[in-house]
Amino acid sequence: MSRIGKQPVVLPKGVKASLSGNVLLIEGAKGKLSLSIPQSISAEVSGDKVVVKRSSDEKNICSAHGTIRALVNNMVKGVVDGYRKELDIVGTGYKASMKGTTLVLAMGFSHPVEITVSKDLKVTVPNPNRIIVEGVDKQKVGEFSANLHKIYPPEPYKGKGIRYVGEEVKKKLGKALAK
């Protein structure tokens, strides 16, 4: 039995869960999220708990059991607190700015990089070297942040690029100091 999957997800005050067919809908103060549950997994909403159960002990069904429970828990956490990722831009002349719903990055390329922000994410630029991505859905926040990081990952010689706050970049010696 999955140790994670058998634990019920407790719904805090102000969070409502409803099940229609195989779609679980969770509503809270920050927004609404829905999850399509596979046929081999079932979910029950009873009072202030959501219990995820599986139909058999096959290996792929067992793995889906714990995964679905973790996704439901992330949904509950998202509608209560939300998720947040912060990124730093390091490098001379490298900066970010917002133009409406478009994030504009000047990263030393021949052109500025423009990224359209979806409606369910909130992207703020408190200063030109910091980007804050907030949202209800953990996957969308992480995916958008990873796509930003991928535009110009921190390089190992000078440390220039886009990095997560707290990310350590191991710097290499240059060829002049490697002797």
Starting at the edge strand found earlier in the chain, the sheet holding 16-20 runs 16-20, 23-27, 32-36
Q: Of the candidates 106, 95, 108, 88, which has an alpha carbon nearest to the alpha carbon of residue 169?
A: 88
Residue ranges of domains in the chain? 9-80, 83-164
| Domain boundaries 83-164, corresponding CATH code | 3.90.930.12
Distance of CA 96 to the CA centre of its chain: 20
Are 77 and 141 in contact by the 8 Å Cβ rule? The answer is no
Same fold? 9-80, 83-164: yes
Tokens representing 114 are 């423009």
Expressed in angstroms, the distance from the first to the final Cα of the chain is 57
The single-letter DSSP state of residue 152 is S
pLDDT tens for the chain, 179 residues: list them. Answer: 568 888 999 999 999 999 998 999 999 999 999 999 999 899 999 889 999 998 888 888 888 999 999 999 999 999 999 999 999 999 999 999 999 999 999 999 999 999 999 999 999 999 999 999 999 999 999 999 999 999 999 999 998 999 999 988 888 887 876 66
Superfamily holding 9-80: Ribosomal protein L6 (3.90.930.12)
Residue 122's DSSP bridge partners are 134
The span from the CA of 174 to the CA of 136, in Å, is: 43
Say how many C-beta atoms besides its own lie within 10 A of residue 84's C-beta: 12
The single residue listed with the structure tokens 């407790």 is 10
The span from the CA of 156 to the CA of 88, in Å, is: 16
